[in-house]
Structure 1
C-alpha cells in the first residue's frame, strides 16, 4: 500500500471495545476494533460473492432449454 491513508477518530462505548478486544484476542483497543471492522467487511464481500454466484447459477438454469415433459 502506498501513500497516506486518511484516519478517522471515533468514540465507542468502553464495554464494546473491551468485548471486541477479548473476542479478537487483541490487547490494543485500536488494533482490536480495526480487526473486527476488517473481518466484518471481508464477510460482507464473501456473502456478496456467494450471492452473485448463486444468482448466476439460477440464471443459467432459467436460460437452459426445458426438456419436454410427458
Structure 2
C-alpha cells in the first residue's frame, strides 16, 4: 500500500495520542483515520437500511375503505 506523509500540529497529535492511548504519533493518527472511515461505513449502512424501509412503505398499495 502506498504511504503518505502529512505534517500536523504537534499539540493536535499529542492530544490524539493521549485519547487513543498509544505512544506512536503514526499509530494514533492511523487509528483516528480508520475509526472515521468505519463510522462512515456504519452511517451509510444505517442510512441505506432506513431508505429501504421507506421504499417498502411507499410501494405498498393503499387500502381504500
Residue 20 of structure 1, aligned match among 8, 16, 20: 16
CA–CA distance in structure 2, aligned partners of residues 58 and 51 of structure 1: 11
- Per-residue CA shift, 1:24-59, capped at 9, x if unaligned? 111100000000000000000000010000001000
* SS of residue matched to 1:58: helix
After TM superposition, which residue ranges in structure 1, 4 or more long, deviate above 3 angstroms? none
Structure with the higher fraction of residues in helix conformation: 2
RMSD across aligned positions (CA):
0.8
Give the aligned length.
65
Q: Which runs of 5+ in 2 are unaligned?
A: none
Q: Which runs of 5+ in 1 are unaligned?
A: none
Give the CA deviation at 1:67: 2.1
